[in-house]
Chains A and B, each alone.
Chain A
């Protein structure tokens, strides 16, 4: 079973829409979850990280962790064409350095 799974997309939405991006994970011991944005042929850019369960908000972005269902989500409000990128979820185990990434969801925001 894959540790972190994402729908590869592409997910196409009109400008201004609310976007929901999701990951499922397999190990209930996972504690730290991150969302990165990656533009084509660029490095991953950290958007947010969350610890355990709950919500975290930063501007137009909200990250949510539901440990009971092993589900992590990123919501983007008022989406812009500049949000068009691949969104990677990742986790890090306590005491480890390595991030483990999902395969990413490609988002296209149409003007």
Chain B
């Protein structure tokens, strides 16, 4: 069964450093998303992406965040200058079409900022 994959599973970085989290969405999916979950808190929406554009973003997704689909398979989330409060699980998700209510999540990348 096709699934969303994410790398790395765990990333440790120093405050102020840039990190890139990588995702490979399900191959025939066209909509891509990033969510995060701070330990013990809710899963929160960050951004959705379609046709090489951001289609929706939350207040959390400020100028230090960016997303990119550098090739036909990968989808990345970049955090330019990490802060301690960026420590969280970051989940990538994908769905087939617009308005599709079935978003499939990857296993997540645990980001630890020291």
Q: Which residues of A contact B (CB under 8 A)?
A: 32, 34, 36, 41-46, 49, 51, 88, 90, 92, 94-104
Contacts and interface: CB of A to CB of B under 8 A. Distances in A.
Interface of B (DSSP majority class): strand
Contact of B45 (A45, A98, A102): A98
Interface size class of B (residues with CB under 8 A): 20 to 34
Given A41-B110, A97-B48, A103-B42, A49 B101 contact: yes
A45 B102 CA distance: 10
B103 interface: yes
B45 A99 contact: yes
Interface of B: 4, 31, 33, 35, 41-45, 48, 55-56, 58, 89, 91, 99, 101-108, 110
Contact of B103 (A41, A46, A88, A102): A46
Contacts of A100: 45
A96 B105 contact: no
A43 B90 CA distance: 9
A97 to B, nearest CB: 4
Top 4 A-B pairs, shortest CB-CB distance: A97-B48, A98-B45, A43-B105, A101-B43
A44 B91 CA distance: 9
A102 B42 contact: yes
A98 B105 contact: no
Contacts of B105: 36, 43-46
Contacts of A41: 89, 108, 110
